[in-house]
Amino acid sequence: MELKKIQENGIEATRYLERYVNNIKGDHEIYSDTLSIYSPHEGVDSFPAPVFNLPREVVNIIQADPDPRLLREIIGADVKFVIHPNMLEDQEYLDRTGLSEYTSEQSYIVSPTSSTRTLLTYDRPYTFMVKTDLEKRHYKFIRRLKGTSVEYSIAMSSELGSICKDEALSEFAYLPESIGIIFGDEKTGAGVLFREIVPRPLVDDTRTLVPYFSLYANDIRNPEDRALLSQLIDLHSTKGQELAYFTEVILGKIIRNWTTLARDYGILPELHGQNTLLELNDNLEPERIVYRDFQGTYVDAKIREEKGLKLPFTKHLAGEESGTDRAKQFSHIYDHNVGHLLLERLTNTFIRDYPQYKYEQVTSEVATMFNSLFPEAKDIFPKETYKVGKVVNNEVVMEKTHDNPMFR
């Protein structure tokens, strides 16, 4: 895709990037049990997502300062509960959750985002995303969304709203997950999250969102197009300054925000290519990184205690899950989820298109930046790098990935 088309097409450009300028991991049926018609890159342009109008008294409604337009859309005399269409065909699921006692007489026309189970509305006056409870294997995991995860995501959205007042986070924004609906209990019930598509803190001018994976991925419909990362660098840097622009702007926004959130707030965001978007202004200049999907965000209780911060979270506490420890959890989030899944891929694209630079030049610049911003990290992180491996008997097995970190 060409940069100028992103500017011209706004939300439709973002919708296109989600689906077609993304890493493809093979045919849909190889890695997913969902029907291929719902696949981001193989599926139909749009499809109906069933909406159940549930009485207020049978659901738990959780809010984090929702936009009034979204609130009016979802909560009225009844409450709208959206499910993925793949689950409407699963009678066992409908019976177990209790949804079979109600009738879906309405639907939203939606398109899939890169995550498949999160849907972007087409036909509403106010556009928003819906994260659904999808009890189907997609890549390694069954994509359930139960009550505690809904509660956690709403709490994290509220926390980020407070944190964003910090001037040190002027390059950070988030997509609010501002309404959560829980139906039934934790074991047999289901949940749904409604995510706004306008980043907060709000700004006056119009911005366009580009998923970070779209910076390095090929456009499967226009494979001859240059990577968006390289188009940005060509547009905004001068000859001989490509490395400085890449490390300071494209990677630097990731490093500065991750270290601030971890160091000052004990928040360990999963800033990989899918959860992180780059916000561009009218001149196609990068402004902020935008974080979305908070379900897997870990929190460090020790840092929050040291900073005198409350701990409104009951899960995803670093090092408290069986089989993990604090140091390895930090490494998994930063070295693997941020470093391997995002920084490495961006760097590989950069040195491919600008072969005058070396991989080690990039890693050295990033490591220097990281350590200057987060000197306390040397007392927290392990010497090696780790990722979460298999889960055996409900215990996480941490796997060592490298003897020496690359980006710290």
The rounded distance, in Å, linking the Cα atoms of 88 and 302 is 43
Rounded Cα distance, 213 and 201, in Å: 23
pLDDT score recorded for residue 137 = 61
Residue 29 has pLDDT above 70, yes or no: no
**Rounded CA separation 29/36 (Å):** 7
| Orientation angle between helical segments 344-353 and 359-373, nearest 10 degrees | 140
- For residue 4, give the amino acid letter: K
Q: Which residues of 351-367 are buried (b: 16+ CB within 10 A; e: fewer)?
A: bebeeebeeebbbebbe
Residue pair 253/137 in contact by the 8 Å Cβ criterion: no
pLDDT of residue 23: 78
Mean pLDDT over 292-302 rounds to: 97
Domain covering 3-402 in this structure, CATH number: 1.10.510.40
Percentage of the chain exceeding pLDDT 90:
81
Looking up tokens 């997502």, which residue turns up?
A: 49
The tens digit of pLDDT for each residue in 263-287 reads 999 999 999 999 999 999 999 999 9
Q: Which residues lie below 8 Å from residue 202, measured CB to CB, with a gap of 6+?
A: none
- Residue whose token pair is 């989030």: 333
Beta bridge partners of 261: none
CA distance 259 to 346: 19
Instruction: Output the 3-class SS for the chain.
Output: CCHHHHHHHHHHHHHHHHHHECCCCCCHHHHECCCHHHCCCCCCCCEEEEEEEEEHHHEEEEECCCCHHHHHHHECCEEEEECCHHHHCCHHHHHHHCHHHCCCCEEEEEEECCCCCEEEECCCCCCEEEECCEEEEECCEEECCCHHHHHHHHHHHHHHHHHCCCHHHCCEEECCEEEEEEECCCCCCEEEEEEECCCECCCCCCCEEEECHHHHCCECCCCCCCCHHHHHHHHHCCCCCHHHHHHHHHHHHHHHHHHHHHHHHCEECCCCCCCEEEEECCCCCEEEEEECCCCCCEECHHHHHHCCCCCCCCCCECCCCCCCCHHHHHHHHHHHHHHHHHHHHHHHHHHHHCCCCCHHHHHHHHHHHHHHHCHHHHHCCCCCEEEEEEEECCEEEEEEEECCCCCC
pLDDT tens for residues 299-341? 999 999 999 999 999 899 999 988 899 999 999 999 999 999 9
Confidence category of residue 69, pLDDT binned at 50, 70, 90: very high
The pLDDT of 357-370, averaged and rounded, is: 99
Give the Å distances, CA to CA, from 216 to 10, 43, 337, 348, 353.
20, 22, 16, 9, 11
* Cα angle 191, 81, 50; round to 5: 115
Task: Say which range, 175-184, 186-195, 328-337, 391-400, has the weakest mean pLDDT.
Answer: 391-400
pLDDT digits (tens, 9 = 90+) for 34-43: 777 888 888 8
- For residue 136 the two structure tokens come to 């189907």
> What is the predicted pLDDT for the residue at 139?
57
Burial tier of 178 (Cβ tally within 10 Å: 0-12, 13-18, 19+): buried
Q: 366-387, pLDDT tens digit by residue?
A: 999 999 999 999 999 999 999 9
pLDDT bracket for residue 26 (50, 70, 90) = low
pLDDT at 380: 98
Predicted confidence band of residue 138 (pLDDT cuts 50, 70, 90): low
* Exposed e or buried b per residue across 107-136, where buried means at least 16 C-beta atoms within 10 angstroms of its C-beta: ebebbbbbbbbbbbbeeeeebbbbbbbbbb
Q: What is the mean pLDDT of residues 358-366?
A: 98
- Retrieve residue 245's tokens: 């622009």
Pairing of strands 172-174, 286-291: parallel
Mean pLDDT of the chain: 93
Residues with Cβ < 8 Å from 220, sequence gap 6 or more?
Answer: 20, 21, 22, 24, 41
Instruction: Yes or no: say if 46 and 111 are a contact pair by the CB < 8 Å rule.
Output: yes
Contact yes or no for 322/375 (Cβ under 8 A): no
Asked if residue 54 has pLDDT above 60, the reply is yes
pLDDT at 114 over 70: yes
Question: What's the whole-number mean pLDDT along residues 203-218?
Answer: 95
